[in-house]
Amino acid sequence: MVHTGIGYDVHRLVEGRPLWLGGVEIEHTKGLDGHSDADVLLHAICDAVLGAIGEGDIGSYFPPSDPQWKNAPSRIFLEKASELVGNVGGAIVNIDATLIAEAPKILPHVPAMKIAVAQALYISPDQIGIKATTNELLGFLGREEGMAAMAVAAVNLPQ
């Protein structure tokens, strides 16, 4: 039986940090602020996968209060989510994710992002959709003060 999960994440943009999106470092004037590498796209995907198997959110496994996750690559979080799917006898069917940001353009980076996500989840890049949209210059996202991401995961679980 296929179960679905939804994930959402948001982080502030700040000077002096690298920008990680979808497991790929992208050239930009600012990076995302967070305890880990703050990869908003991977965090949303992780929450979607965890939701599909009825688990808690990313913070229940990797709390920002735990110093071991300081500047940690978010790939670790996806690998753990994939492990948890396997532990319940499940298989990830597909991931669909959307980044919400005014800049930078991510289209040139999507193939590398799909590969990075696929490797972390032990699935094929063909099972992953990644796209982006702007916030039409509205709100904190439109003012380029932060980025957000949404994701949906489908996981086949035994009955």
pLDDT tens-digit readout, 46-104: 999 999 999 999 999 998 899 888 999 999 999 999 999 999 999 999 999 999 999 99
Sequence-separated (6 or more) residues with CB below 8 Å from residue 117? 22, 23, 42, 45, 78, 95, 97, 125, 128, 130
Q: What is the rounded average pLDDT for all residues in the chain?
A: 97
CB 77 within 8 A of CB 42: yes
Closest CA relative to residue 43, chosen from 73, 67, 66, 70: 73
The residue-averaged pLDDT of 26-32 equals 97
Contact between residue 62 and residue 45 where contact means Cβ atoms under 8 Å apart: no
Q: What is the mean pLDDT of residues 29-58?
A: 97
pTM for the whole thing? 0.97
Q: What are phi and psi of 122, to 5 degrees?
A: 60, 45
Identify whether the C-beta of residue 81 lies closer than 8 Å to the C-beta of residue 7: no
Q: Which superfamily does 2-156 belong to?
A: 2-C-methyl-D-erythritol 2,4-cyclodiphosphate synthase (3.30.1330.50)
Contact predicate 31/17, CB 8 Å: yes
Q: Determine the Cα–Cα distance for residues 94 and 138; give it in Å rounded to an integer.
A: 31
Q: What is the pLDDT of residue 64?
A: 86
Q: Virtual CA dihedral for 53, 54, 55, 59, nearest 10 degrees?
A: 110
pLDDT at 154 over 90: yes
Give the mean model confidence (pLDDT) for residues 126-139. 97
Tokens of 120: 């972390």
What is the rounded distance in angstroms from the CA atom of residue 33 to the CA atom of residue 131? 22
pLDDT > 70: percent of the chain: 100
